Amino acid sequence: MRYVYEGQSFSRSEAGDLMPVQLVRLFRDMLRIRRVEEAVEARYHEDQMKTPIHLVIGQEAICVGACSALEHRDLVYAGHRTHGVYLAKGGDLPAMFSEFFCRKNGCAGSRGGSMHLIDQRVGMAGSSAICGGNVPIAAGMGLAAQLLGLERVSACFFGDGAAEEGVIWETLNFAALKRLPSIFVCENNFFSVFTPLFKRQPEGAELWKKAESFGVTAEVVDGTNVLAVHAAARRAVARARSGGGPSFIEARAYRWRGHGGAGDDNHKGYRDPAELTLWQQHCPVERYYEWLLEAGHIAASERESMEREIDAEIAAAYQHAEQSPNPTRADLDTHVYAETGA
């Protein structure tokens, strides 16, 4: 085993001043994303969702922990693994499913699909399928906030693979130079498609330390621990809002599924199945639930009703998508250019 879990169990201090209702909300948000992803996975073989999916199962604590520290006005820009970020930022599940089903009323009007979720209504500024492509754009949004005097923070999400793109480091240099109100969340899941981290980056060269050397405040957190991610994100947001400049958060969590598509691809032999088994014992959703249960913040019956609600929401969203119209020929070539002033 190469990539072993190195985190610790939850502690009360990580919860900080979060009220029980907020603690439970974090759980519900993760549970919702998990069940949505499982529901997508379960129906992907039907071939109705003609879009390349990248499931976030196993990494839910990162998007939920980070987005819960942001406000509605703040902007997020995702990479190709978009579902969790969109939902955590308040995304519209029926619009997301419509997008997956290639319907006219998808959140991107069927012009994006799973890799390009975008929704101004919730501050989902966009997502890029080119690793690292979203990162300077998010910094530009930080610059705009600075220039226009907006109390707004921008955050971007990218993987350990994207962190091999030069543009990330160009961006960190500029963000530090200008003290931009931007947060760079690196979701280190140890794999880029089938290629493990050790084949791509030298052993011991830690991402957060590289970021720190660019003059950006950086830290590494257990990416399966929603409280740890949330606490780091809150520190970053406070820094950004007070003019303290950018932050880099490396959150480590294991990618449970294949790079893309449905299901586990361990049988392809590119990683040790024992790794997955180990990380599944540190499930971000279940371990946190156990902690909440033990601390008396949640009751088993509450979870059951949450699951019923979420499943009903998913069923309704599927129904919405399936019953929604397809785009027509008239939709193909509109909005290539903006009509200036319109």
Partner 1 sequence: MPWAEALIAAKTRKIDVGEGRVLSYAEALNEALRTAMEMDPKVFVFGQGVDDPAASFGVTRELQEKFGRERVFDVPLSEEAMTGVCVGSAMSGCRPVMTHNRPDFILLSMNQLVTHAAKIHYMDEGRTRVPMVIWAAIGRGWGSGAQHSQAVQGMLLGVPGLKIVMPSTPADAKGLLLAAIADDNPVLVFEHRWLMREQGVVPEGFYTVPIGKGVYRRRGADLTIAGTSHAIALALDAAEALACEGIDAEVIDLRSVKPLDEAILFESVEKTGKLLVVDTGWAMGGVCAEVACRVAEQRFDALRAPLRRIGLPDVPTPAGHTLEQLYYPNAETIAAQIRAMCA
The site for partner 1 (CB under 8 A) is made up of: 75, 77, 108-109, 111-112, 116, 118, 120, 125-126, 128, 130, 133, 135-148, 150, 152, 154, 166-167, 170-171, 173-174, 177, 334-342
What counts of helices (H) and strands (E) characterise the chain? 13, 8
- 126 vs 112: CA distance, rounded Å: 10
Instruction: Pick the closer one to partner 1 by CB: 8 or 173.
Output: 173
CB of 7 to partner 1, least distance (A): 32
Residue closer to partner 1 by CB (options 50, 308) is 50
Minimum CB separation of residue 255 from partner 1 in Å reads: 24
- CB neighbour burial string for 301-330, b if at least 16 within 10 angstroms, e if fewer: eebeebeeebeebbeebbebbeebeebeee
Q: Amino acid identity, residue 226? A: V
Question: Which among 213, 247, 214, 212 has a CA at the least distance from the CA of 233?
Answer: 247
- CA 17 to chain centroid, in Å, comes to 24
To the nearest whole angstrom, how small is the minimum distance from the Cβ of residue 109 to partner 1?
A: 3
- Residue number, 39 or 135, with CB nearest to partner 1: 135
Query: Angle at CA 320, nearest 5°, toward 45 and 125?
Result: 85
Residue 244, judged by CB atoms within 10 A of its CB (0-12, 13-18, 19+), counts as: middle
Would you say 147 or 300 has its CB closer to partner 1?
147
CB of 178 within 8 A of CB of 129?
Answer: no
Whole-number minimum distance, CB 247 to partner 1, in Å?
A: 17
**Shortest gap between Cβ of 267 and partner 1 (angstroms)?**
34
Cβ proximity to partner 1, 97 vs 291, nearer residue? 97
Distance CA 175, CA 179 (A): 6
Nearer to partner 1, 55 or 143 (CB): 143
Q: Is 331 helix (H, G, I), strand (E, B) or coil?
A: helix
Minimum distance of partner 1 from residue 148's CB (angstroms): 5
Residues paired with 184 in a beta bridge? 156, 248
Please state the closest distance from residue 96 (CB atom) to partner 1, in A.
15
Nearest CA to 298 out of 90, 34, 22, 66 is that of 22
Residue 278: strand, helix, or coil = helix
Distance, in Å, from the CA atom of 129 to the CA atom of 52, rounded to the nearest integer, reads: 10
Angstrom distance (rounded) from CA 48 to CA 28 = 28
User: Comparing C-alpha atoms, which of 254, 257, 258, 288 is closest to residue 1?
Assistant: 254
Question: Taking the complex as a whole, how short is the minimal distance between the CB of residue 151 and partner 1, in angstroms?
Answer: 13
C-beta of 325 vs 337, nearer to partner 1: 337
Q: Which is nearer to partner 1, 139 or 262 (CB)?
A: 139
In the complex with partner 1, which residue's Cβ is closer, 26 or 75?
Answer: 75
CB of 318 to partner 1, least distance (A): 22
